Chain A
Amino acid sequence: DAKTTQPPSMDCAEGRAANLPCNHSTISGNEYVYWYRQIHSQGPQYIIHGLKNNETNEMASLIITEDRKSSTLILPHATLRDTAVYYCIVRVSYGGATNKLIFGTGTLLAVQP
């Protein structure tokens, strides 16, 4: 299973962009990168995912390097409510769809007022 490496914590000023890095150097060609976040003791919330192209939705942008060995989640204008643990996950694939997500330790993003 491809593993991910994230910094344990990051700070960001409210209103500024938060850039959360993730390394996934053993990712396979057909595996997607997913980002989730978890606010204390709640279920993880889906943010965004991608295969090789950059992706953007109403919550965030995902930048994946050309070699796919790393990615960056960008929250364009962080608010206090974005304080959470952010997980970068490589979704395991066994020749078809699977719902097995291997979580690492994540990055605790603290948005400061």
Chain B
Amino acid sequence: KAGVTQTPRYLIKTRGQQVTLSCSPISGHRSVSWYQQTPGQGLQFLFEYFSETQRNKGNFPGRFSGRQFSNSRSEMNVSTLELGDSALYLCASSLASENTEAFFGQGTRLTVV
């Protein structure tokens, strides 16, 4: 079956702009989580959505937001981009069960100039 799909794969934006990233989970997966990866901070949890509701949130400013649609597809938005937002953004999907694994997409590489 198809894996987790993230679009776009690469993106270049200017400071102050906003950006929307998309994540299509594996069919049947209702949980989608987002992560930011930078060389300095490593992989950091942003937020998790389950059945269109945000279930967990990491320690990021309010400029980072997300949503999930009824088909479980998710988007994350970053407003007023800063140079430090340049990162690899990853999403992962999983079934709603403790004894299951999360599968990651290939990520969106965002560069802010």
B-contacting residues of A (Cβ < 8 Å)?
30, 32, 34, 36, 41-46, 49, 51, 87, 91-94, 96-106
B residues lining the A interface (CB < 8 Å): 4, 31-33, 35, 42-45, 48, 50, 55-56, 88, 90, 92-107, 109
Contact sample, A vs B, 16 pairs, CB 8 Å cutoff: A32-B99, A42-B106, A42-B107, A43-B105, A44-B92, A44-B104, A49-B101, A91-B98, A99-B31, A99-B33, A99-B48, A99-B93, A99-B94, A100-B56, A103-B42, A103-B45
| A32 CA / B107 CA spacing, docked (Å) | 25
Closest to A100 in B: B56
Beyond A46-B101, A97-B31, A99-B93, 8 additional contacts (C-beta under 8 Å) are: A43-B105, A43-B107, A44-B43, A49-B99, A92-B56, A97-B100, A98-B56, A100-B56
* A36–B106 CA distance with the chains assembled, in angstroms: 14
In the assembled complex, the CB of A50 is this many whole angstroms from the nearest CB of chain B, namely 10
Select B90's contact among A30, A44, A92, A96, beta carbons within 8 Å.
A44
B33 touches A100 (CB 8 A): yes
A68 to chain B, nearest CB (A): 15
Instruction: Give chain B nearest CB distance to A100 CB in angstroms.
Output: 5
A77, chain B: closest CB distance, angstroms: 23
**Chain A residues within an 8 Å CB radius of B94:** 97, 99
Known A-B contacts A32-B98, A44-B43, A93-B98; A98 and B55 likewise in contact (beta carbons under 8 Å): yes
Partner of B45, one of A43, A87, A97, A101: A101
**Shortest distance between the CB of B66 and any CB in chain A (Å):** 13
Min Cβ gap B100→A in Å is: 8
Q: Which of B48, B97, B106 contacts A43 (CB 8 A)?
A: B106
CB distance from B59 to the nearest CB of A (A): 11
Contact B98 A97, beta carbon cutoff 8 Å: yes
Q: A34 with B107: in contact, given A97-B95, A99-B48, A100-B48 (CB under 8 Å)?
A: no
- Residues of B within 8 Å of A42, CB to CB, are 106-107
